[in-house]
Amino acid sequence: MFSDVFHRLRALLRRTTVEREMAEELQFHIDRQIEAYRRLGLDDAQARRSTRLAFGGLDQISEDVRDARGIRWLDDLLRDVGYAFRTFRRLPGFAAMALLLLALGIGATTVMFTVINSVLLRPLAYPEPDRLVTLHGFTEGFGESWGASYPDFLDIQRESRTLTMAAWREGGGTISAPGDPEYVDGRQISAELFAVLRLRMSQGRPFLRDDDRPGASPVAIVSDSLSRNRFGGGAAAIGQRLVFEGISYTVVGVAPAGFGLDGELEVITPLGENTEPRMRNREARFLHTVARLSPGAELSEAQAELAIIARRLAAQFPASNGGRGMRARPLQHDVVGDIGSTLWLLLAAVALVLLIACVNVASLLLARGVSRERELATRVSLGASRARVVRQCLTESGVLGLTGGVLGILVAAASLRPFVVFWPGALPRAAEIQLDWRVLLAALALSLASGLAFGLAPAMRVPMGRVEGALRGSSGTIVRSSRRLHSAFVITELALAVVLLVSAGMLARTLVTLASLDPGLNAHNVLTARVALSPSALGTPPEISAAWQDVLDRARRVPGVESAALTDIVPMREGENSVPYSISAAMPPPGQAPIALASSVTPDYLKVMGIPLRAGRFLDEHDGLGSEPVVVIDDTLALHAFGRRDVVGRQLWVPTMGAPVRIVGVVGHVRHWGLAGDDRSRVRDQMYYSFAQVPPSLLRTFASFMSIAVRTNRVPLDIVEALRRDLRGASNDQALYDVRTMEQLVSGSVARQRFLALLFSIFGVVALFLACVGVYGVLAYLTSQRVREFGVRMALGATPRDVTRLVLRQSLAMITVGAAIGAAATWVAGRVLLTLVDGMRAVEVSTVTTTTAILVIAALIASYVPATRASRVDAMTALRQE
């Protein structure tokens, strides 16, 4: 085995030496044999002739020896590759065109595949990531929801034998020492988290069980970057003091560099230290969970066990857990979310472009192949086997494909970062996106495969039975069959281009429709931001209320601010608070009550957001802790629950507000889930209640949700700096974060649709251009083959117009068939888009007809040039040509 490889390698790498040695060896034999014959008495000439007879043909023997060395096919391959490169150098225009097409097609496909590979396919960066799951609650009426409550988590963690579980929740806050005050992202985690993920700390230790309980002495883990920025990196942070949210923590560990759960984070504190009331509330499902399957346990066993635990909890706590199931899902699925469909959609579109590029290159090669027919026929008649000639053709297109592929990979490497940056919002796992060997291998395989695919058609046309005909130049039959193949290419290209163009048209139309939808509020000149109150303000409920009032007062004094309000949820931004309600005292069983989105706001909210008041009044200063609990509902809830809009004065039972509450007003519906997503969302009913009526015990919890919204009389982003400065407060450590204008949020809610529409338009235009190039190239080639025929026709009395019309009719036939097939195929593409894109409109006949018309006109223009050229054929020259 080793010897075999060694000798093949030597034969390959030291070819000249090996060749020389072989020649010397054979020559030695021949000389000795001649000598032997002469010793037998033959004269020189006789001895040589006898030797030749006894030895055999030297060339033939040399070839056989080369074969025996086992590198014959490689030799041929290298020779063919060299030949291919020489051919391409002789035809720089052809080669450049083909390579450009391939580089673009393969480059775009590689970018998409890289992103898909990094985001969807590559396992998460934890050991044995496929054994990590996350838990989802489940009810009959509302499907899955991600959260778990802390008591439920503790029960499941204790009872499960198939899972080791950890939980975390958002826990950002303000660091006030060491260094400048700053709001940072953070998480509160249960002690097991790092063990479940199997991550080692970069420095120090993870949390212990004993840290993770009420009353434990406060300890924290900090991120690698925070450790470097504030403590000087390395082990220096361990044992240091960190003042976070006004509490002094001892740093016990530094997380591994780049550690993040669902985003970057700086400070990690133990979940169990938290003593908020909702930590004891089984209905407050705000925890994220992650669990690892125990050794030997399967996902199905975990599901079965979770079902049993959920049933037990439902029986024991019917009020909170009745009708609730529990499911485990692979963690990867959760991290990536619903981004997958968009990525696959883009990959499909890009693959269509690549396909068009391949068809184009194939028709270029075919055109060349036909003019090469004589060369190939000559080779066959000189004794080359058909397989050998086919192999040579395939080698040529393979070389073309691979070269295009290498260029394509360069294109992809250059455009990967811009693409990721350009992606609307945050692409999950964006930092992990990179070209890896898997992608490179796939790209090279793809380019080789496309090379072979578009080389196949020309290669299969290597003449065999018709060698004589081809040599004699009576190429009528050849042209006729190649014309059919060329037409097939053009038809395919046009059909694919129609699919892409119509898809782009549909997306653009969807975007226009979405943009013209009324968001339900006046987004012009509104600025929103989350506010992190000073940790020192988070004392008694009256102190917290006073701090918020101070924030509002300060904001109102900022120049340019017309009105200001607080709210716990901002439309079209992440975050929600869904509550069940009923229109009678008899609550439906858990999981079956209607759900509404409940916002806790201050009185000016309606004015700031520009939401229309339909009936009654909005919340005002008189709605406070001492007065009757009131809500304002939107007209969607009114129609849904009461069947009419005029419901002011009616009552609503909302368990989370200590039911019942009085409806004092009806306002317009706001598209909270985005322009595109709102129509399909589960929770469309909306209600507003007064921030002043939030129970004092919950004020501290609410502090982490609240945002400020201001209406300005100038460009809102201009006042951000002043607002930030003035809101720092008396202790100078209040921070604004997540600053957005309402217009950004509205436009962001259709960002994915806009991104898709833009990319599809680019793809569509590229496809249109490629298809026109294809039509032009094929017709130019076909008419050049028919010059003689045109000459005859004109000699017999045809006018130039007749010839133009002849060519155009031929091309129109191809174009019509291609467009018809493409229009039929758009029905399928439309269905796919409809299911994958939020707010997508069905295929409209007008979109199909408009885009198809554009394509037909462009294709006709492309065929006009060859047609007029054909009409200028001079009859006599054409006839003399052959």
**425 counts as binding another protein under rule CB under 8 A:** no
Element (DSSP H or E) covering residue 337: none
**330 counts as binding another protein under rule CB under 8 A:** no
CB of 78 to another protein, least distance (A): 19
CB of 12 to another protein, least distance (A): 12
CB of 49 to another protein, least distance (A): 13
Q: Where are the alpha helices (DSSP H) in 516-564?
A: 541-557
**Which range binds another protein by CB under 8 A, 61-69, 231-239, 265-273, 381-389?**
61-69
**Which range binds another protein by CB under 8 A, 3-11, 619-627, 849-857, 873-881?**
3-11
CA dist 548 and 707 (Å) reads: 10
The pair of structure tokens assigned to 513 is: 């429709």
**128 counts as binding another protein under rule CB under 8 A:** no
**32 counts as binding another protein under rule CB under 8 A:** yes
Three-class DSSP category at 666? strand
For β-strands 661-667 and 630-634, DSSP reports them as parallel
**Which range binds another protein by CB under 8 A, 48-56, 74-82, 296-304, 791-799?**
48-56
**Looking up tokens 């578009």, which residue turns up?**
454
Sign, CA torsion 63/64/66/71: positive
Of 23 and 195, CB closest to another protein: 23
CA dist 674 and 529 (Å) reads: 18
| Helix, strand, coil percentages in the chain from 3-state DSSP, rounded to 5 | 60, 15, 25
**Which range binds another protein by CB under 8 A, 4-12, 323-331, 367-375, 512-520?**
4-12
**38 counts as binding another protein under rule CB under 8 A:** no
CB of 383 to another protein, least distance (A): 20
| Amino acid present at 679 | D
By CB under 8 A, name the one of 44, 64, 140, 264 that touches another protein.
Answer: 64
# chain residues binding another protein, by CB under 8 A? 31
**68 counts as binding another protein under rule CB under 8 A:** yes
By CB under 8 A, name the one of 2, 41, 92, 421 that touches another protein.
Answer: 2
CA dist 621 and 625 (Å) reads: 11
**Burial class, 307, CB count within 10 angstroms (exposed 0-12 / middle 13-18 / buried 19+):** middle
By CB under 8 A, name the one of 15, 38, 69, 327 that touches another protein.
Answer: 69
Per DSSP, 287 falls in state B
By CB under 8 A, name the one of 61, 309, 659, 860 that touches another protein.
Answer: 61
**4 counts as binding another protein under rule CB under 8 A:** yes
Of 22 and 440, CB closest to another protein: 22
**73 counts as binding another protein under rule CB under 8 A:** no
Of 67 and 468, CB closest to another protein: 67
CB of 384 to another protein, least distance (A): 22
The pair of structure tokens assigned to 246 is: 């006004």
**Looking up tokens 């919204």, which residue turns up?**
709
**9 counts as binding another protein under rule CB under 8 A:** no
By CB under 8 A, name the one of 17, 23, 49, 67 that touches another protein.
Answer: 67
The footprint of another protein on residues 695-724 (CB under 8 A) is none
For β-strands 630-634 and 685-690, DSSP reports them as antiparallel
Nearest alpha carbon to residue 497 among 755, 752, 773: 773
CA dist 445 and 451 (Å) reads: 10
CA dist 611 and 669 (Å) reads: 8
**50 counts as binding another protein under rule CB under 8 A:** no
CA dist 849 and 852 (Å) reads: 5
Of 36 and 717, CB closest to another protein: 36
**Looking up tokens 């953070």, which residue turns up?**
186
By CB under 8 A, name the one of 42, 48, 55, 374 that touches another protein.
Answer: 55
**Which range binds another protein by CB under 8 A, 55-63, 219-227, 273-281, 615-623?**
55-63
**Which range binds another protein by CB under 8 A, 54-62, 483-491, 555-563, 815-823?**
54-62
Judge contact between 594 and 655, C-beta under 8 A. no
296 CB contacts (<8 Å, ≥6 apart)?
none
**7 counts as binding another protein under rule CB under 8 A:** yes
CA angle, 197 then 201 then 207, to 5°: 75
Residues making contact with another protein (CB under 8 A): 2-4, 7-8, 21-22, 24-26, 28-29, 31-33, 35-36, 53-58, 60-61, 64-65, 67-70
